[in-house]
Amino acid sequence: MILVLSNEMPDEERLELIKKMEEIGLRVHESQGERYRLLGLIGNTSTIDRNRLNAIRHIEKIIPVQESYKLANKAFHTKDSTIIDVKGNKIGGENIALIAGPCSVESEEQIVSIAKDIKKSGAKFLRGGAFKPRTSPYSFQGLGSEGLDLLKIAREETGLPIVSEIMSVRYIDEFAENVDIIQVGARNMQNFDLLKELGELKTPILLKRGLSSTIDELLMSAEYIMAGGNENVILCERGIRTFETQTRNTLDLSAIPVLKKHTHLPIIVDPSHAGGMWWLVEPLSKAAVAVGADGLIIEVHNDPENAKCDGQQSIVPERFDTLTKQLRKIAELDNRII
Q: Which of residues 177-196 bind its own copies (CB under 8 A)?
A: 187-188, 190-194, 196
**25 counts as binding its own copies under rule CB under 8 A:** no
Given the rule CB under 8 A, which of 89-97, 107-115, 200-208, 274-282 is the region that contacts its own copies?
A: 274-282
Judged by CB under 8 A, the residue of 9, 176, 290, 316 near its own copies is 290
Residue 137: Cβ within 10 Å count: 6
Judged by CB under 8 A, the residue of 11, 12, 23, 49 near its own copies is 49
**72 counts as binding its own copies under rule CB under 8 A:** no
**297 counts as binding its own copies under rule CB under 8 A:** no
| CB 309, CB 131: distance < 8 Å | no
Q: Mark 202-221 with x for binding to its own copies (rule: CB under 8 A) and - for no binding.
A: ---------xxxxxxx--x-
Given the rule CB under 8 A, which of 87-95, 106-114, 117-125, 283-291 is the region that contacts its own copies?
A: 283-291
Long-range contacts of 284-289 (CB under 8 A, 24+ apart): 284/251, 285/323, 285/327, 286/326, 286/327, 286/330, 287/253, 288/251, 288/253, 288/256, 289/96, 289/327, 289/330, 289/331, 289/336, 289/338
Greatest alpha-carbon pair distance for the chain in Å reads 75
| CB 97, CB 124: distance < 8 Å | yes
Q: Mark 87-126 with x for binding to its own copies (rule: CB under 8 A) and - for no binding.
A: ----------------------------------------
Given the rule CB under 8 A, which of 90-98, 111-119, 153-161, 255-263 is the region that contacts its own copies?
A: 255-263
- Phi, psi angle pair for 280, to nearest 5°: -95, -15
Which among 17, 33, 94 has a CA at the least distance from the CA of 334? Answer: 94
Judged by CB under 8 A, the residue of 83, 176, 316, 330 near its own copies is 330
Which among 48, 99, 102 has a CA at the least distance from the CA of 278? Answer: 102
Residue 85 or 334 having the CB closest to its own copies:
334
The helix-helix angle for 317-333 and 278-291 (nearest 10°) equals 20
CB of 31 to its own copies, least distance (A): 4
**78 counts as binding its own copies under rule CB under 8 A:** no
**65 counts as binding its own copies under rule CB under 8 A:** yes
